[in-house]
Structure 1
Amino acid sequence: MTNAAEYRRGRHVVSALHAHLAFVTKYRRNVFDDAMLRRCEDIMVEACHSFAAELREFNGEDDHVHLLVHYPPKVSISKLVNSLKGASSHYLRKEFTGRVNRAIMHGHFWSPSYLAASCGGAPLTIIKAYIEQQRRPA
C-alpha cells in the first residue's frame, strides 16, 4: 500500500490520490525539444500549485508529455487537466512561436483528448479481496 507520508490529511478526509496524465500535441506534431519540455514542466508545476496539487514526475517526447500528479480529493481531474493544458498552451505558444506554427496546428497546441489513469496503492485484485473478506453482520 501507500506509505504514511503519501497521505494528505484534511479536517475530515485522509487521501492518497495520484493520477497519471498524458497529453498529445494537436495532430501529433513534433514540436517539443528539451528547452520546451523544461518550460512546460515549470508551467505545469505552477498550475498544479494553484490547485494545491503536486507534480511528482514529468517527462515527454517530441509529440506528447506524461505527468504524475498527487492531488487533493476536492480537485476535479477534468478541471485540473483544463488548467494544465490551457496554461501550458498559452505560454508555450507565446514563448516558442518559431517552433509552434499556429497555421499547421489550426490555432491549437494540444489535442482535445487526454489520458487520465488513477495509480498508486494496492492492485485492484487485492482491494477486491479485502472488501470481499469483510465480516458482514448477519
Structure 2
Amino acid sequence: MVWTPKYRFKILRNKIGKELYRSIYILCNMKECEVLELNIQYDHVHLVVIAPPKLSISGLMGTLKGRTAIRLFNKFLHIRKKQWGNHFWARGYFVDTIGVNEVIIRRYVRHQDKQDIEHERQLGLLD
C-alpha cells in the first residue's frame, strides 16, 4: 500500500512521522492486521500488511487515512493551517498483492529511504 499527503507535501518528518508510524501500528492492530513492513518517507507512506479476508482493503485504507489525519490534526495544530481544506491525505492510494515477489517488495519498502537519497544525489539535488 502506498499513499501520500495532499499535494505531496514533505510533512511526514520528525514528530509527525513518528506519530504517524505509531498510529498506523495501533490502527492495524485494532483491525487485526499484521504489519510486515512500514516505511514513512517525507512525502509518502509504504505499508506491507497482512489483512484478514473479512476486511476490505478500501475499508482498511479509509480507516488508516481517516483516523491518522484526525490524530495528526489534533496533535499538531500547525499542520491544519498548511493543509488546504482540512484534508491531510491526497485522494486515492496504490495497493497491490504480494505473492512470489514478497521478499523483493519487503526489501524495497525497508530500504526506500536509501534509494530516495541516492536518486536525489544522482539528480544533483543533494551535495
Mark yes or no: TM-score above 0.5: yes
Please tell me whether Structure 1 or Structure 2 has the larger radius of gyration of its CA atoms.
Answer: 1
2:73 matched residue in structure 1: 93
Alignment counterpart, residue 112 of structure 1, candidates 83, 91, 94: 91
Aligned-partner Cα distance in 2 for 1:77–1:48: 12
SS at match of 2:86: coil
Indicate conservation of the 8 Å contact 1:24/1:114, yes or no: yes
Runs of 4 or more off by more than 4 Å in structure 1?
none
**Letter of the aligned partner of 2:27 in structure 1?**
A
> Can you give the 5+ residue segments of structure 2 that lack an aligned partner in the other structure?
103-127
> Can you give the 5+ residue segments of structure 1 that lack an aligned partner in the other structure?
1-20, 124-138
Q: Deviations over 1:16-44 (max 9, x none)?
A: xxxxx111111111212132212111111
Aligned-partner Cα distance in 1 for 2:101–2:11: 37
User: TM-score, normalization: structure 2?
Assistant: 0.72
1:30 matched residue in structure 2: 10
Aligned length: 102
1:62 matched residue in structure 2: 42
Matches within 5 A, 1:1-138: 21-98=1-78, 100-102=79-81, 104-121=83-100
User: TM-score, normalization: structure 1?
Assistant: 0.67
Aligned-partner Cα distance in 1 for 2:10–2:94: 19
Pairwise CA RMSD: 1.8
Closer, same or farther in 2 for the Cα pair 1:122/1:29, shift >3 Å? closer
Aligned-partner Cα distance in 1 for 2:83–2:34: 33
Aligned-partner Cα distance in 1 for 2:11–2:101: 37
**Greater strand share, 1 or 2?**
1
Kindly, what percent of the aligned residue pairs are identical?
29
